[in-house]
A and B are shown apart, each in its own frame.
Chain A
Amino acid sequence: MLVLGWGIVMDQSSLARFRAARERWARDVLGPALARQPERAPRFSTVSDLEIARLYGPDDLAGADPGLPGEYPFTRGIHPTMYRGRLWTMRMFAGYGTAEDTNARFHYLLAQGQTGLSVAFDMPTLMGYDSDHARALGEVGREGVAVDSVEDMDLLLRDVPLDRITTSMTINAPANVLLAMYVAVAASRGISPATIGGTIQADMLKEFIAQKEWIVPPRPSMKLIQDLLVYCTREVPRWNTISISGYHIREAGSTAVQELAFTLADGIAYVEAGIAAGLDVDAFAPRLSFFFDVHNDFFEEIAKFRAARRMWARIMRERFHARNPRSWMLRTHAQTAGVSLTAQQPMNNIVRTAIQALAAVLGGCQSLHTNSMDETYALPTEDAVTVALRTQQIIAHEAGVTHTVDPLGGAYAVEALTDRIEAEADAYIRKIDDMGGMLAAIERGYPMREIAEASYRYQQQLERGEKTVVGVNAFAQDEPSPIPLHAMDPDVERRQVERVRRVRAARDAAAAARARDALRRVTESGGNTMPAIVDAVRARVTLGEICQVFRDVYGEYREQAVL
Chain B
Amino acid sequence: MVEPHVRILVAKPGLDGHDRGAKIVARALRDAGYEVIYTGLHQTPEMIVAAAVQEDVDAIGLSILSGAHNVLLPRITAMLHDQGAGDIKVFCGGIIPDADIPGLREAGIAAVFTPGTSLEQIVAWVRDNVKPRGVTA
Contact = CB atoms under 8 A, between A and B. Distances in A.
Interface of A: 123-124, 126-127, 129, 134-139, 142-143, 207, 210-213, 251-253, 339, 342-344, 376-379, 452, 455-456, 459, 462-463, 469, 471-473, 480, 485, 488, 558-559, 561, 563
B70 A138 contact: yes
B41 interface: yes
B13 to A, nearest CB: 9
B40 interface: yes
Given A123-B14, A123-B16, A142-B67, A378 B119 contact: no
Nearest to B41: A212
A134 B47 CA distance: 13
Interface in B18-52: 18-20, 23-24, 26-28, 30, 36, 38-42, 44
B129 interface: no
B97 A485 contact: yes
B40 A138 contact: no
Interface stretch (B1-9, B53-61, B84-92, B110-118): B110-118
Q: Which 8 A-B pairs have the closest CB atoms?
A: A212-B17, A138-B71, A561-B40, A138-B68, A142-B67, A123-B15, A343-B115, A139-B68
B40 A559 contact: yes
A218 B18 CA distance: 19
Contact of A378 (B16, B68, B71, B95): B95
A135 B67 contact: no
A552 B44 CA distance: 21
B98 interface: yes
Contacts of B41: 212, 559, 561
Given A377-B97, A559-B41, A213 B17 contact: yes
Given A252-B20, A563-B23, A123 B66 contact: yes
A211 B17 contact: yes
Contact of B98 (A137, A213, A480): A480
A456 B24 contact: yes
For the residues of A in contact with B, the DSSP-based class is loop
Contacts of A137: 68, 71-72
Contacts of B16: 123, 143
Contacts of A459: 24, 28, 119
Contact of A463 (B39, B42, B119): B119
A143 B66 contact: yes
Contact of B39 (A469, A472, A561): A561
Nearest to B114: A343
21 contacts: A123-B16, A126-B15, A136-B15, A137-B72, A138-B71, A139-B14, A139-B68, A207-B17, A212-B19, A212-B41, A213-B17, A253-B20, A342-B116, A343-B116, A378-B95, A455-B23, A455-B24, A456-B27, A459-B28, A559-B40, A559-B41
A557 to B, nearest CB: 10
Interface residues of B, number: 36
A135 B95 contact: no
Contacts of A469: 116
A359 to B, nearest CB: 22
A563 B14 contact: no
Contacts of B67: 139, 142-143, 378-379, 488
Contacts of B24: 253, 455-456, 459
A138 B14 CA distance: 8
B118 to A, nearest CB: 6
A559 B39 CA distance: 10
Nearest to B17: A212
A300 to B, nearest CB: 20
B95 A142 contact: no
A343 B67 CA distance: 15
Contacts of B70: 138
Nearest to B71: A138
B72 A455 contact: no
Nearest to B46: A134
A344 B95 contact: no
B43 to A, nearest CB: 10
Contacts of B44: 134-135
Nearest to A339: B20
Contacts of B39: 561
